[in-house]
């Protein structure tokens, strides 16, 4: 079947998306997905060529909805609770006690999950902090979750999760903080609202500045979708957003040493963390 999107047009789309989001699309891997999406959108908006769709996307999309729909269709949102769980253990056993001892006691400790996808990562942070139980009695902790994809942020706010998404949570923890949903699992009401979720693009300096300063930034499994220049740009944004001696945690396949040397790498057991 012939798509409206030619190989040359694919490159135009890829360049445009890259400039706007840092997401790096490759023809061999992504052509079919993008082409199908554009055919579907053209049918909805009554465009009979890629040129018309691309014009509408760039020059007639005053609300930003067309761009948001494209981003929502392109992103890969795979996530689950307690993914790479050693990092959450290092967070509650080492990082939070260290920063709790260092920071003036009236200040909250602020943690950013960028990207949060549907919320499993920031809520895993909440669950580990609650299960640890001591620091949260002495210190306010604020957790913010951001993602460029508005559909995942809408889902995250609802606190409803599939069986697959909660599979790695130990059963006693699951039964304490969730109730059976129809289907899946719902967070108990007291936990809804413990994470401040917002739609934001890590490349949008204004949006990122508005989030304020953080003590810890989790940025796992997003940089793999970017190229080297974009990774560096985001790493430097995180550097600026961190309080002195704050930490960044990346996904297992992501290494700060390959991106920039401004952070100090520390190894705790098998977990690498990066300090400002």
CA atoms within 13 A of residue 87's CA, in its CB half-sphere: 23
We find the least distance from the C-beta atom of residue 206 to ligand SAM, in angstroms, to be: 13
We find the least distance from the C-beta atom of residue 148 to ligand SAM, in angstroms, to be: 4
Torsion-angle region of residue 221: left (phi > 0), alpha (psi -120 to 50) or beta? left
We find the least distance from the C-beta atom of residue 237 to ligand SAM, in angstroms, to be: 10
Compute how many other C-beta atoms are within 10 angstroms of the C-beta atom of residue 179: 11
- 115 three-class SS: coil
We find the least distance from the C-beta atom of residue 43 to ligand SAM, in angstroms, to be: 25
The DSSP code for 92 is I
Tokens, residue 204: 């949008």
Question: Judged by CB, which is closer to ligand SAM: 144, or 152?
Answer: 152
CA–CA distance, 196 with 210 (Å, rounded to integer): 13
Rg (CA), the chain: 20
Question: Judged by CB, which is closer to ligand SAM: 23, or 174?
Answer: 23
CA–CA distance, 28 with 7 (Å, rounded to integer): 10
What angle is formed at CA 57 by the lines to CA 52 and CA 59, rounded to 5 degrees? 90
- C-beta of residue 274 within 8 angstroms of C-beta of residue 250: yes
We find the least distance from the C-beta atom of residue 118 to ligand SAM, in angstroms, to be: 8
CA–CA distance, 96 with 272 (Å, rounded to integer): 15
Question: Judged by CB, which is closer to ligand SAM: 50, or 82?
Answer: 82
Question: Judged by CB, which is closer to ligand SAM: 152, or 259?
Answer: 152
Unique residue bearing structure tokens 């001892």:
101
Question: Judged by CB, which is closer to ligand SAM: 105, or 270?
Answer: 270
Question: Judged by CB, which is closer to ligand SAM: 47, or 231?
Answer: 231
Binding residues for ligand SAM (CB under 6 A): 21-23, 75-79, 83, 115, 117, 121, 147-149, 152, 201-203, 220-222, 225, 251
We find the least distance from the C-beta atom of residue 61 to ligand SAM, in angstroms, to be: 18
């Amino acid at each position: 079947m012939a798509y409206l999107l030619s190989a040359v047009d694919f490159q135009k789309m890829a360049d445009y998306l890259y400039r706007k989001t840092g997401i790096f699309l490759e023809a061999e891997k992504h052509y079919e997905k993008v082409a199908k999406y554009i055919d579907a959108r053209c049918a909805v908006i009554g465009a009979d060529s890629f040129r018309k769709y691309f014009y509408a996307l760039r020059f007639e999309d005053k609300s930003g909805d067309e761009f948001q729909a494209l981003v929502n269709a392109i992103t890969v949102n795979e996530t689950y609770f307690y993914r790479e769980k050693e990092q959450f253990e290092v967070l509650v056993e080492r990082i939070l006690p260290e920063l709790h001892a260092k920071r003036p006691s009236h200040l909250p400790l602020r943690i950013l999950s960028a990207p949060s996808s549907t919320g499993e990562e920031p809520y895993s942070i909440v669950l580990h902090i609650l299960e640890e139980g001591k620091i949260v009695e002495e210190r306010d902790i604020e957790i913010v979750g951001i993602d460029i994809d508005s559909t995942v942020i809408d889902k995250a706010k609802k606190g409803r999760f599939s069986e697959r998404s909660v599979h790695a949570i130990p059963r006693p923890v699951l039964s304490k903080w969730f109730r059976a949903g129809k289907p899946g699992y719902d967070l108990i009401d007291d936990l809804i609202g413990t994470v401040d979720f917002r739609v934001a693009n890590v490349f949008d300096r204004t949006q990122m500045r508005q989030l304020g300063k953080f003590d810890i930034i989790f940025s796992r499994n997003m940089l793999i979708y970017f190229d080297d220049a974009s990774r560096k740009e985001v790493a430097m944004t995180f550097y600026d957003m961190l309080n002195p001696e704050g930490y960044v945690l990346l996904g297992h396949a992501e290494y700060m040493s390959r991106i920039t040397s401004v952070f100090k790498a520390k190894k705790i057991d098998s977990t690498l963390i990066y300090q400002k």
